Amino acid sequence: MTEGREYLKDYTIRIANERQMAQHREAAGAYWNHKLSPTEDFIKYYNREKYESEWGGDRVTIWQVGFPPDTSSLTLVKTDDIDGEGYAACRTYRRKGWAKRPGHDGLKDGFVYGISSVVTPPQHYRRGYATYMLSLLHLHLQPPSSIPSSLLPLKQDELVSGFKPGQADELPVALGSWLMSDVGSTFYSKCSLQEGRKAWVVDDSQNSGLRWAIKPTTPDFDEDKVEWIYRSDIESLSKELSTREKARLAEADVSKGAIWAEDPASTGALAFLPVKSTWYDPSCAPHPVGVRIKTGTPAEDPIVLFLTSFFPIGFEFMVTLISKLTPEHLPLALQAFDKAASDAGRERGFIWGMDPSSEIVEAWKNQPGREVEVKKRAEAKGGLLGAVYYGEEGQEGRALDGQMWHWL
């Protein structure tokens, strides 16, 4: 426990009750509201996501700091008032995934969790509540075999109270977890009770931002060579992308540690951004959300998903996922981006998570007139992806990539 903050021992986490969920909605809405989405709209979308979206229900959990875990969402509370005020809260999204581990054949199936909406009510700022809450959350998500024996009494006696990891259908143990940091690249790495083991680590190679200039659609753009992808296509496409992602993970080099990946076929994983974009801006609904470059061999077709509108991230044409896009096919892909972006009134493109040293980034830079800029995303409100692997104690690991489709 942080020196000087021994008072935190009087707090624990629980899955939030309805009253605590309302506190989280209000605190998150006040922090993340926007002139295009006032607090009341944020609360509306918050409820819609939890209770109406295909990825909601028991796949979305809101946690509170408090005592002890209940059944609903996550919050930090006082141990002697577990149904009372929340001191920090967050939301977790459960998705399927896989891990490739050194010394093991094949991939391990399991679950991964995305963490979002980490918020502390203003009256409780700078007391360490959010850090402590997230540190305790790790003890619920990771397998018992990965927890030092010195922490097991804390886990069993002070946290569980009738709720044990792996026994709650809505919170099976995890292979790994991730979050998008708007408060820099180091804060969330410290949210751990395990000495010498970091929490969510930001890998600079996965947190670049590439921006480029959109051009007017040219007469030589041959639309017969591409196939537009719409929101209604996402569910069927997710299965194809799942097969590709699993194969990519199987080929990954794990000589430096395990690698885990989110399964694109998880319920709502790929639909999350395209669907939510229409909540904020209904006018984008008719626009495509991706493009397939036809090669004659569907299994080798480059597939790119994108958004023409999503103001929580930015006001640009945003590429959210690329699969098998090569320098050879980049010029045609850029022409397709020009068409989709221009139709939506966008002048700049933005993509996350591309390794700055990769061939595809070099090819992007070499495209004439594209005014390409590549750099690490901002520390403040940059949506930096931090990831943690829940392997055996002492084992290292990382996420497969940091593309925008992981955003929550």
Q: What is the pLDDT of residue 150?
A: 65
pLDDT of residue 174: 92
Name the domain count of the chain: 2
Write the CATH number for 288: 3.40.630
Helix (H, G, I), strand (E, B) or coil at 67: coil
**Same domain flag for 58 and 140:** yes
Q: Tell me which residue range forms the domain holding 286.
A: 211-377
**CATH for 103:** 3.40.630.30
Q: How far apart are CA 375 and CA 378, in angstroms?
A: 9
354 inside domain: yes
Last residue of a domain, one of 171, 189, 207: 207
Helix (H) or strand (E) holding 90: strand 88-100
Do 166 and 98 fall within a single domain?
yes
Q: Are residues 288 and 340 in the same domain?
A: yes
Single out the residue in 192, 207, 222 at which a domain terminates.
207
Which range has highest mean pLDDT (32-41, 95-104, 157-166, 278-287)? 95-104
Q: Where are the beta strands (DSSP E) in 139-275?
A: 176-183, 201-202, 208-213, 226-229, 258-262
CB 398, CB 387: distance < 8 Å: yes
Structure tokens at 360: 């595809």
The H-assigned helical ranges of 293-383 are 330-343, 359-365
- Has residue 385 been placed in a domain? no
Q: Are residues 180 and 70 in the same domain?
A: yes
Q: Is residue 406 part of a domain?
A: no
| Mean pLDDT within 97-108 | 96
In this structure, the answer to whether residues 158 and 292 fall within a common structural domain is no
Q: Does residue 156 sit in the same domain as residue 229?
A: no
Q: Is the pLDDT of residue 111 over 60?
A: yes
User: Does residue 275 belong to any structural domain of this protein?
Assistant: yes
Does the pLDDT of residue 154 top 70, yes or no? no
Mark whether 229 and 351 lie in a shared domain: yes
**Residues 170 and 229 occupy one common structural domain:** no
Sign of CA dihedral 323, 397, 107, 155: negative
β partners of residue 178: 114, 387
Residues 30 and 79 in one domain: yes
Beta strands in 184-289 (DSSP E): 201-202, 208-213, 226-229, 258-262
Claim to verify: residue 164 and residue 217 sit in the same structural domain: no
Q: Mark 326-344 as b/e (b = at least 16 C-beta within 10 Å).
A: eeebbebbbbbbbbbbbeb
On whether residue 231 sits in a domain, the answer given is yes
Percent over 90 (pLDDT), the chain: 57
- Do residues 316 and 340 make contact, with C-beta atoms less than 8 angstroms apart? no
Task: Indicate whether 402 belongs to any domain.
Answer: no
Count Cβ atoms within 10 A of the Cβ of residue 289 and give its class: 0-12 exposed, 13-18 middle, 19 or more buried. buried
Do 384 and 185 contact (CB within 8 A), yes or no?
yes
Same domain? 123 vs 19 = yes
Higher pLDDT, 68 or 406: 406
CB 27 within 8 A of CB 120: yes
Lowest mean pLDDT among 59-73, 114-128, 255-269, 320-334: 59-73
Give me the pLDDT at residue 253, please: 97
Dihedral angle computed from the Cα positions of residues 38, 41, 46 and 47, in that order, rounded to the nearest 10 degrees: 150
Mean of per-residue pLDDT scores for the chain: 86
The continuous run of DSSP H or E covering 93 comes out as strand 88-100
Instruction: Let me know whether 20 and 134 are in one domain.
Output: yes
407 belongs to a structural domain: no
Structure confidence at residue 383 (pLDDT): 93
Q: Decide if 194 is inside a domain.
A: yes
pLDDT at position 166 is: 42
Q: What are the two backbone dihedrals, phi and then psi, of residue 359, each rounded to the nearest 5 degrees?
A: -65, -40
More reliable by pLDDT, 150 or 199: 199
More confident residue, 190 or 157: 190
pTM, 2 dp: 0.90
Q: What pLDDT, on the 0 to 100 scale, is given for residue 136?
A: 86
Q: Which residues contact 36 (CB under 8 A, 6 or more apart)?
A: 280, 311
Does residue 163 carry a pLDDT above 50?
A: no
Packed helices 39-51 and 18-32: angle between N→C axes, nearest 10 degrees: 130
Of 207, 233, 268, the domain-final residue = 207
